[in-house]
Structure 1
Amino acid sequence: MVVNDLIQTAIEEIENQHWGVTKQFLEIHEVVYKDNKPKVENVKIDEEKGRAIVYFSIVGQKFYLAIYLDTKPAIAVSWIEIEPRYSIYFRATSEVLDYNELCAMTTLTPTNGWNKGDKRKFGELTYKFSCIEFLINGTPDEFKNKLEQLLDFLEQDKKGIIDLAHHANGYIQTIIIFHNGNTMLGGPMIDRKNITRISDLNLEINFDLYAEGKFYK
């Protein structure tokens, strides 16, 4: 399958707005353009299901215009979604243990972290706790995919993650940025299998929810 064909079909929907959802959304928001074309943030292809999703950036916003496509028997738009931005990562914090001591509890390599007393990235304040974080998928994607990819990663060192949950404040952090739209935000679902996987790691999951952007006319 040629990715360019998927992108071109999705762009044609943006330009011609055959779907009412596309027209309604583009009346209040704009797609980011680069080199005179809508900027594609990610393309996800599921060969088994014959489905693809093309994600587009929105000017001044953190959520995405997601165009769903059937790939069999021919490429065609099947659905339009205003996809929230999902940020799902593991975090362990401690006011007693330092960054290196937290790292020593697991064989996994953090993607971010700091020591108690380090200066924050913005402003003059300092951190009141040490922290390590593991962010596995930072690209636009569906909630379930991101959660499962994080769990796959954490399960590579189940003992270490359980130790971090027990000896430090180890948990899964989820930040979701919705489009205000018509105030019906919806939300993700965690199926039984993934609830069991989270429980087996002795983890909690925390949700921070935000709604941004303009309301529909």
Structure 2
Amino acid sequence: MEVELVEQLPKLEGIVVKQDIGRATVYVAVKGEPFYIGVEFDIAGAIEINAVLTEPRIGLSYLATSEEFDSEFLLSLTQLPPTEIIKKGDWFPNNQWRYSYSSLSYEATDAPGSFEDKLNEFLAYLEKDISGINALSRHTGADDLLVTVWHHISNGNFTQLYLTKGHVARLAKLGLSVTFDLYARGQALK
């Protein structure tokens, strides 16, 4: 793997500090890959490198689409501002086709972090308007939270992907299920 450089220094994608366990992880970009190299530090007392690992990139999104209802109606169902709005009849980015549906897209931040932390943050955002998300789901049939994970192929062992009882209860209140979309990239480790 080749670390991506900016002005001859590794490109840092983010730092996650966990004071409660005395650790911090620095996420470094890998050239041409969606995953990260994670440099984990002990920060309680003397700061020392604890481990160097590959860390997955995790994307979370909720997409409500409808061929029947226009985007203005969909927007009226919720107080949450979407990440993206598609209006039925608008041109695709390639200017060759028009959208046959309207949609509202909600996406978690692209910042690095653990699956559990990112899921908790995204659910907290959606929970700001539980009745709105329920209404979108009822009117569009969209009841799926999509979790996309890009791992380094490593040794083929992909861990740290689970739902707690709390997550399941929160998803149930929102009327959402979960689909996991998993990818493995890069060169396998010997």
CA contact (8 A) 2:59 2:108 kept: no
> Partners of 1:185 and 1:124 in 2: how far apart?
39
Quote the offset at 1:127 in angstroms: 2.7
Give the structure 2 partner of residue 210 of structure 1. 183
Give the aligned partner of residue 38 of structure 1: 10
Taking a change above 3 Å as real, the CA distance of residues 70 and 203 of structure 1, as seen in their structure-2 partners, is same
Work out the percentage of aligned pairs sharing the same amino acid: 31
Offset of residue 180 of structure 1: 1.5
Say which of 140, 150, 162 aligns to 2:122: 150
CA deviations on 1:92-132 (whole Å, 9 max, x unpaired) are 11111111111110011011120223222346233332111
State the alpha-carbon separation in 1 of the partners of residues 97 and 156 from structure 2: 35
1:167 aligns with 2:152: no
- Preserved contact between residue 93 and residue 170 of structure 1 (Cα < 8 Å): no
Q: CA contact under 8 A between 1:116 and 1:127: conserved in structure 2?
A: yes
Give the Å deviation of 1:165: 1.4
Match of 2:28 among 56, 62, 71: 56
**1:122/1:213 Cα in 2 relative to 1: closer, same or farther (>3 Å)?**
farther
- The runs of at least 4 aligned residues of structure 1 exceeding 3 Å deviation read none
Give 5+ residue unaligned stretches, structure 1.
Answer: 1-28
C-alpha spacing 1:92/1:193, structure 2 compared with 1 (3 Å): same
Q: CA deviation at 1:45?
A: 1.0
SS of match in other structure, 1:59: coil
Which blocks of at least 5 consecutive residues in structure 2 are unaligned?
none
Match 1:110 to one of 82, 89, 92: 82
CA contact (8 A) 1:181 1:214 kept: yes
Aligned residue-pair number? 189
Q: CA deviation at 1:49?
A: 2.1
| Aligned alpha-carbon RMSD (Å) | 1.6
Segment of structure 1 superposing worse, 146-155 or 111-120:
111-120
The 1-side partners of 2:166 and 2:16 are apart by 23
1:196 match? 169
**1:70 is aligned to 2:46:** no
Matched residue type, 1:163: A
Q: Residues of 1 paired with 2:84 and 2:118: CA distance?
A: 18
Moved more, 103-112 or 45-54: 45-54
